[in-house]
Amino acid sequence: MATSDDLLAETREVRERILAHPVVTGIGSGDLPLEAFRYYVRQDYVFLVEYSRVLALAVAKAHDLALMELFARLVQATLDVEMELHRGYCARLGITRAELEATEPSPTTRAYTDHLLHVAWQSTTVEIMAALLPCQWGYWEIGRELTDRGLPAHRPLYAEWIAMYGGDEYRDLAARLRATFDRAAADVSAAERTRLSASFHTSSRYEYAFWDAALRQEDWPV
């Protein structure tokens, strides 16, 4: 059994709760209030900035040229494609580029990205991959689930978001990232396997917390 199979089984409860979260199901049905989606997109943009830094650190730490190339391409795709899509969503939602760039990370966004950056600075390449996989694979699970339920034709922006993460291109990327992680994790020591599990579990919990913050439109208390 591959390492990712074990980790996904260990986090089944939180993954099921993500798929049932009101923000996720609201995107799927098209009934999520636009204010919640605006909040989510802005925070996700902030997240992607730090996610790119984590990937860049993975490039620097990788000892394998193929891994360096993979992480470098992910950095470019995040900066040039995914973040541009977010800018496009925001323009359609009435959020200017200046407003988007000025978005302050919420407490949850800050905590999640700090966790990822801590792993990236302190740990091995395989542990960085373990910390990122709940996001990378989780969005494919969400996209697939919502696609299977049927796209919300009355809310084209949500339908486009679902189609992106539920489409073949993202499916293939998520599968490649998972397979690459499994190859890297195949021969780790028992101690490192424990660290992989801890990082994976923490990121899985933050994935749920990120959606929940959008539901509450979380802000700093003071």
Q: What angle do CA 64, 70, 76 make, to 5 degrees?
A: 135
Catalytic residue IDs: 135, 207
Nearest to 151 by CA among 137, 140, 164, 169: 164
What's the confidence (pLDDT) of residue 213?
98
What's the confidence (pLDDT) of residue 74?
96
Per-residue pLDDT tens over the stretch 31-47: 999 999 999 999 999 99
What's the confidence (pLDDT) of residue 50?
98
What's the confidence (pLDDT) of residue 95?
95
pLDDT tier, 21 (very low <50, low <70, confident <90, very high otherwise)? very high
Confidence check: pLDDT of 1 > 90: no
Q: Which domains does the chain have, with CATH numbers?
A: 3-216 (1.20.910.10)
Per-residue pLDDT tens over the stretch 92-127: 999 999 999 999 999 999 999 999 999 999 999 999
Q: How far apart are CA 148 and CA 100, in angstroms?
A: 31
Tell me the pLDDT of the chain averaged across its residues: 97
What's the confidence (pLDDT) of residue 97?
94
What's the confidence (pLDDT) of residue 111?
98
Per-residue pLDDT tens over the stretch 136-188: 999 999 999 999 999 999 999 999 999 999 999 999 999 999 999 999 999 99
DSSP run (H or E) holding 121: helix 107-122
Per the CB < 8 A criterion, the answer to whether 34 and 156 are in contact is no
Per-residue pLDDT tens over the stretch 3-16: 999 999 999 999 99
144-149 CB contacts, 8 Å cutoff, 24+ apart: 144/171, 145/19, 145/28, 146/24, 146/27, 146/28, 149/28
